[in-house]
Amino acid sequence: MHSGEKMGKTCEGLAIAEYLIPVKPGFGGFDEPYDRASVVFVGVPLDVTSSYRSGMRFAPASIREASANLETYLLSAGVDVFERLGISDLGDLRIAPTDILETGRRIEAVVRKINYDGKLPALLGGEHTITYFALQPFPDAFLIQLDAHRDLREEYMGDRVCHATVMRRVLDKMPADRLLQVGVRSCSKEEDEFARECGIQTYTAEEVMENPTVIASKIRERVGNSPAYLTIDIDVLDPAFAPGVSTPEPGGLTTVDALRIVRELGRLNLCAFDVTELAPPYDNGAAAFAAGKIIYEVLASFAKRD
Ligand SMILES: [Mn+2]
């Protein structure tokens, strides 16, 4: 039987352990047992479709290392995330190196199971392609994409499922008015025309930087209490703040801009979130620490949500 078919439509009794490689210490270093957790991390070191520089396979380990060396108390929120949330880490997904659809089935199975158990899945990419698969258990969710790029190409260098097409594949199944692109500053003419034709809500990097809190309020107004999947491509940050990414794009957010916006977005009715495209070999840890800090900020807001 193909592994993706074992799941059927239910997750009851689903054994996902075969898809996972345990990693200790996990995110933050606290290693709460899965049963007691409300937030569950999974590393997804997918690193196969990069068009420029790779190294995203090293990102989950780098983010975990940074997370263990950042304070878990958030001054902005007045919350220690490990006091308020049970946080577990299932380790890294086993990647099928030459079969992205099989890897995708494993991502979907693991996310579906965590969600079924009433916990928030938190994915540490890996390349952005993972979001397409991780979103599958949430057909009614809004997708809020923090990213320098639109990722809306119909195909890229012959690939239909890759980091540059991931949001186009999402829109094969999801109405365009549920995709919000935030921090955008780079795309092809065709992607821009497509986005306008479909009416994809877009906030450029400069619009966000004018006032991150106002943009976040607009997003919260639009999404309301609907389930929201937050995907953070770390290249939304300017390369000055996060040099270690796969496809750097100048003109981006400062780390403070990003913290201000996720501080608000963490209060949404989150169904899952991910952080993608970090390529640790290209900096001295700056991007991994920025990613860790952004994740803590999301968790602190999530812990305080009404
Ligand atoms: Mn990007």
| Distance of CA 54 from the midpoint of ligand 1 (Å) | 13
What is the average pLDDT across 273-300? 98
State the DSSP code for 174: S
pLDDT at 13 over 70: no
Q: State both tokens at 192.
A: 């821009």
Distance 188 CA to ligand 1 centre (A): 13
Query: Please, what is the angle between helix 255-265 and helix 212-223, to 10°?
Result: 30
Residue 257 to residue 267: CA distance in whole angstroms:
17
The predicted-structure confidence for 82-130, as pLDDT tens digits, reads as follows 999 999 999 999 999 999 999 999 999 999 999 999 999 999 999 999 9
* 163 CA → ligand 1 middle, Å: 8
**Ligand 1 centroid, distance to 55 Cα (angstroms):** 15
Cis ω on the peptide bond leading into residue 126 (within 30° of 0)? yes
Mean pLDDT of 299-304: 96
Signed CA dihedral, 208, 209, 212, 215: sign only: negative
pLDDT classification of 14: cutoffs 50, 70, 90 = low
Centroid of ligand 1 to alpha carbon of 187 (angstroms): 10
pTM: 0.95
In the predicted model, what is the mean pLDDT of residues 132-139? Answer: 98
CA distance 243 to 235: 8
Distance CA 198, CA 231 (A): 20
Q: Which homologous superfamily does the CATH classification assign to the domain defined by 32-304?
A: Ureohydrolase domain (3.40.800.10)
Mean pLDDT for all residues in the chain: 94
With vertex at residue 136, the alpha carbon angle to CA 219 and CA 149, rounded to the nearest 5 degrees, is 50
pLDDT value for 75:
96
Q: How far is 102 from 100, CA to CA, in rounded Å? A: 5
**CA 215 and chain centroid, separation:** 19
pLDDT at 6: 40
Residues 242, 281, 296, 120, Cα dihedral to 10°: 120
Q: What is the pLDDT of residue 171?
A: 97
pLDDT tens digits for 150-207? Answer: 999 999 989 999 999 999 999 999 999 999 999 999 999 999 999 999 999 999 999 9
Whole-number Å distance, alpha carbon 108 to ligand 1 midpoint, is 21
Return the domain boundaries, the chain.
32-304
Tell me the CA–centroid distance for residue 99 and ligand 1, in Å. 22
Give the span between the Cα atoms of 232 and 9, in whole angstroms.
28
- Cis preceding-peptide flag for 280 (omega within 30 of 0): no
Confidence of residue 5 (pLDDT cuts 50, 70, 90): very low
| Contact indicator for 114, 126 with CB cutoff of 8 Å | no
pLDDT of residue 22: 95
pLDDT class for 8, splitting at 50, 70, 90? very low
Q: How confident is the model at residue 305 (pLDDT cuts 50, 70, 90)?
A: confident
CA distance 247 to 249: 6
pLDDT of 209-268, one tens digit each? 999 999 999 999 999 999 999 999 999 999 999 999 999 999 999 999 999 999 999 999
* pLDDT at residue 10 in the model: 44
Q: What is the pLDDT of residue 306?
A: 65
Dig out the tokens for 48 from the structure. 């196969």
Asked if residue 201 lies in contact with residue 177, where contact means CB atoms within 8 angstroms, the answer is: yes
